[in-house]
A = this chain, B = another copy of it.
């Protein structure tokens, strides 16, 4: 480890996740020697705050990442495909928040609370999982370790910030138009999102699932290193700004009572148990926003299957679902001398 810290870059610095990455690097006091910020030419020249400095946003070019030791990418899969391998070849370690490399068997897909060991022998590129997967595996890991998981049925309630800043603005504008009695404009989503639910996140595939749903299936198996885990996912966009919620039903290999699950989760890394429903205490997106923990509640015995549990899992999709997870990965790389 460099005694003076690392030369760090954030690629996609002006997006919802990129700006949060900058904030998380600062919050967690990541050992930054220099920070460079990249975005498309449209954003070049903007200045973003990091600690006491203002850093200019540069246009990302082929040679931009020379000399950078750690780059956090969150600029979409095509940018990652184009610039990620180039950066690696010049000696940079890339933590990539896009879907570009997640299912590549040679590239680790990492949630620090779940599979940090997969970082060993990385080849410079590391994938950050999808937001809806991260919070689910953080909550299921301690349960899986004790009782094993046969099958997961999950339905998500995903915030518009998962789509990006433009979607946050779209929901704001639609709500403001509704209050004024004006018609709602839309450009990000194919339908009105205010006061509505869209069972549609990512593109539809030939099997009738969305990309987002298949990410939850495939990434969960890869992170748990267990292709036998059966996963059925339905992912839904809801008119919430920040915080994804998930209704998760698991069928376990061996019995585990709700009390045992609650105790395991209470001790688990990265998890906060909020489960006192008779006092109206359960996880909610408005409380998750701004937090790095995955909140778990409504833990109860599934009455419909042997060894079943149901639960409600909520996390800040921009933080733990993206930016915080990426910075945590970088912290492990630094801590374990893997950079």
Contact = CB atoms under 8 A, between A and B. Distances in A.
A208 B207 CA distance: 35
A197 B238 contact: yes
Interface string A289-304: 0000000011111111
A195 interface: yes
Contact of A247 (B155, B192, B280, B283): B155
Interface in A182-199: 190-192, 195-199
Contacts of A278: 204
Nearest to A232: B304
Interface residues of A, number: 57
A176 interface: yes
Q: Interface on chain A toward B: helix, strand, loop, or mixed SS?
A: mixed
Contacts of A240: 195-197, 239
Nearest to A172: B179
Given A230-B305, A303-B232, A298 B192 contact: no
B310 A232 contact: yes
Nearest to A244: B197
26 contacts: A153-B249, A155-B155, A157-B236, A175-B178, A176-B179, A191-B280, A191-B284, A195-B240, A195-B285, A195-B286, A196-B284, A196-B285, A196-B286, A197-B238, A198-B282, A199-B247, A199-B284, A199-B297, A200-B277, A200-B280, A207-B300, A207-B303, A208-B299, A208-B300, A236-B247, A239-B240
Interface of A: 151-153, 155, 157, 175-176, 178-179, 190-192, 195-200, 204, 207-210, 217, 230-232, 234, 236, 238-241, 245, 247, 249, 258, 277-278, 280, 282-286, 297-305, 308, 310, 312
Given A157-B238, A196-B286, A234-B298, 12 more contacts: A153-B249, A153-B304, A155-B247, A191-B286, A195-B285, A196-B284, A197-B284, A199-B247, A199-B284, A199-B312, A207-B301, A230-B303
Shortest beta-carbon contacts, A-B, top 7: A208-B300, A230-B304, A155-B247, A155-B155, A232-B304, A190-B280, A234-B247
